[in-house]
Amino acid sequence: MVALRIASAWREARLTFTGDLGRHGVPLLPDPSPIPEADLLLCESTYGGRLHEPIDQTADKLAAVVQRTIEQGGKVLIPSFTLGGPRW
């Protein structure tokens, strides 16, 4: 997230840009940061207008897919994103 104050001789404006805000209460991940006050907000909107199901339901669906795949002798590939780590 980037929050800017842009000043000119006659006005000051606050611009905030954010990517995916994230979800509250997800294991292993911190809750999203609050969005600072802004005159203009630019936001990533892949999931705009959608409500996420509770994390427990998502975990149950994933477990069912993994179990079914194992039973059929298949392989499960799970793409992952960085969860953070050492900052060098």
Determine, yes or no, domain membership for 82. Answer: no
Determine, yes or no, domain membership for 65. Answer: yes
**What are the φ and ψ backbone dihedral angles of 6, each rounded to 5 degrees?**
-115, 120
Determine, yes or no, domain membership for 21. Answer: yes
Cα–Cα distance, 26 to 52 (Å, whole number): 12
Structure token pair of residue 14: 């606050």
Query: What's the number of domains the chain is made of?
Result: 1
pLDDT in tens, 30-87: 888 899 999 999 988 777 777 888 888 988 999 999 999 999 999 988 877 655 555 5
Element (H, E) at 55: helix 55-71
Determine, yes or no, domain membership for 60. Answer: yes
Query: Higher confidence at residue 25 or residue 85?
Result: 25
Determine, yes or no, domain membership for 44. Answer: yes
Range of the domain at 22: 2-71
